[in-house]
Structure 1
Amino acid sequence: MKSARFLRMRREAIGFAIGSTFFFIGPLPWYADAVGAANANLTFFIGSIFFTTAATLQLLLAGRRPPWKSTTSGDALDWWAAAVQFVGTLLFNISTFRAWQASIDTPDAMGVGWSADAWGSVAFLVSSGFALGALRRAHELWDINARTPAAVWAGMAGSVAFGFSAVGAYVLPSTNALANLTWVNVGTSFGALCFFTAAVVTRPGVMQEEASAPTE
């Protein structure tokens, strides 16, 4: 029988994969044209809920705890990566909800579509930096496979892409238009694809060990 820890690790990856799918679909022009501005923004909000749920599970995994004096550097970096990522998902909850509300109130207004907000994107970049640090000290982690190279680098690529989306969403004072709409749409979709990849390539060792362990 699979342990609660095993199930939480599976749900974490599934949550990030589902949330990423919503963020990948949301900025596609044909999708927004088909469902309307309000439903397109609702797609982002639902995706952010899946992100936050998955981030919560990752932060509360058995074996993970706030850094203590006895905590190794690898475990401390791993915890901070999860904690900052959780904050980033909460910021996305707020920005996606506001964009959804705005698209309901004024669906034809300029700039009602959601784009990666600056603070949430910064949090994701900082989280990815901590994750890279934890990866370099993987031998100190509570699970040596908690941070796998493919997942960490895919997550970093997604964070950078969301950062480009946030920069593109800057409203130019002189024209009151977005700095670069292509960066907004491509950055969001590509970032979501990277986060989806990070989720599906995650293969924590505990999953493999418990799944293959003989029953008594």
Structure 2
Amino acid sequence: MTERHYLRNDQKHTWQSREHRRGLSCVRADTLPDRLQPEKLNVWIGSGFLVGSAFFALCSAFALFFAFANAFGLSEQQINVGFFFGSIFFTLAAYLQLFQAANTRTQPAASPPHAGIVAFGWRPQDIGWLGCFLQFLGTLLFNASTFMTLHPSGNWLRDELVIWGPDIFGSVLFLASGYLAFAETSHGYWSWHPAKLSWWVVATGLAGCVAFMISAIYAFVPQSGTVTMMVEHSIGWTLVGAVCFFLSAALVLIESRLFRVAPKSRQYRVPRC
């Protein structure tokens, strides 16, 4: 369930799963202490994805225009190190997102999901938790893929299994998580709400997942050897995906900020309790 309408004090209210989980509603995730409340986690989540996607975008640009990278004295190995560091920030942000989802009620009138704080939880029936879980798994695979690019063996089969394999499966998980996030916000299979900031957050994130998926497909290296055109397309789509994730992360920070200042500036509609 992503949306529910209910009565409280003879007034109609609307509960939405993403807004509640992100702390953008009047009902707080009260199983968390103040220092870990959703609106504070949002800043860390958005910042993590922002830094990680910035690493990916810069490294993709340097790899795509390698002559430009040479002007800065960057080698291919150093660029790959940048991709690996970027994937670490993705993983940290994805874990905080999963942690946030694991410690949030699934319905407005539901009891807290547990007595204390949990690290991961297990709520596959909850679309918000499931999307965060799949994305976290995808980031772990990206960690493995980018790390193994630092240690290529030259053996075609081995490199395809430990580099391209985690990349393609991680991209599939990202794509699934991106669509689940979009469906959760849309409250259906599809929606078009460009006037809503939350819609842009998930739409740009989904676009980034699609771009990463295309990049992973092009990243396959045939046994006959590297095809320059495929490499360029793979790097180019990685750049597109990184830019989309950068925009999505920036919008997360803006969304959280607008909600916090809303009572004074009225820039964002805050639900009445």
TM-score with structure 2 setting the length:
0.62
In 1, the alpha carbon distance for the partners of 2:255 and 2:60 equals: 35
In 1, the alpha carbon distance for the partners of 2:105 and 2:94 equals: 15
- The number of equivalent residue pairs is 194
How far residue 137 of structure 1 moved from its aligned partner, in angstroms, is 2.5
In 2, the alpha carbon distance for the partners of 1:36 and 1:205 equals: 38
Which of 32, 40, 50 aligns to 1:7? It is: 40
Q: Secondary structure at the match of 1:201?
A: helix
Residues 1:61 and 2:100 are matched in the alignment: yes
Give the residue type in structure 1 aligned to 2:176.
V
In 2, the alpha carbon distance for the partners of 1:61 and 1:26 equals: 30
User: Quick one: structure 1 residues 168 and 93, their matched pair in 2 at CA, closer, same or farther if it must change by over 3 Å?
Assistant: same
Residues 1:92 and 2:136 are matched in the alignment: no
Which of 209, 213, 216 aligns to 1:159? It is: 209
In 2, the alpha carbon distance for the partners of 1:20 and 1:149 equals: 20
Residues 1:177 and 2:226 are matched in the alignment: yes
Instruction: Summarize the alignment of residues 140-159 of structure 1 with structure 2, pairs less than 5 Å apart.
Output: 148-159=198-209
In 2, the alpha carbon distance for the partners of 1:40 and 1:26 equals: 6
How far residue 64 of structure 1 moved from its aligned partner, in angstroms, is 4.1
User: Quick one: structure 1 residues 92 and 63, their matched pair in 2 at CA, closer, same or farther if it must change by over 3 Å?
Assistant: closer
In 2, the alpha carbon distance for the partners of 1:203 and 1:26 equals: 23
Residues 1:47 and 2:107 are matched in the alignment: no
How far residue 25 of structure 1 moved from its aligned partner, in angstroms, is 1.2
Instruction: Summarize the alignment of residues 97-108 of structure 1 with structure 2, pairs less than 5 Å apart.
Output: 97-102=147-152
Which of 54, 60, 66 aligns to 1:27? It is: 60
User: Quick one: structure 1 residues 66 and 164, their matched pair in 2 at CA, closer, same or farther if it must change by over 3 Å?
Assistant: farther
Greater fraction of residues in helix: 1
Larger radius of gyration: 2
Of 32-41 and 78-87, deviating more is 32-41
In 2, the alpha carbon distance for the partners of 1:26 and 1:194 equals: 15
**2:268 matched residue in structure 1:** none
How far residue 200 of structure 1 moved from its aligned partner, in angstroms, is 0.4
In 1, the alpha carbon distance for the partners of 2:203 and 2:145 equals: 26
Aligned identity (percent) is 31
In 1, the alpha carbon distance for the partners of 2:95 and 2:187 equals: 23
TM-score with structure 1 setting the length:
0.77
How far residue 212 of structure 1 moved from its aligned partner, in angstroms, is 5.2
How far residue 206 of structure 1 moved from its aligned partner, in angstroms, is 6.1
Taking only aligned residues, the RMSD between alpha carbons, in angstroms, comes to 3.3
Give the residue type in structure 1 aligned to 2:199.
P
Structure 2 unaligned spans of 5+: 1-33, 114-124, 189-196, 265-273
Check conservation: 1:8, 1:57, Cα contact below 8 A.
yes
How far residue 132 of structure 1 moved from its aligned partner, in angstroms, is 1.5
**1:141 matched residue in structure 2:** none
In 2, the alpha carbon distance for the partners of 1:97 and 1:137 equals: 37
How far residue 66 of structure 1 moved from its aligned partner, in angstroms, is 8.9
In 1, the alpha carbon distance for the partners of 2:236 and 2:57 equals: 9
Residues 1:191 and 2:241 are matched in the alignment: yes
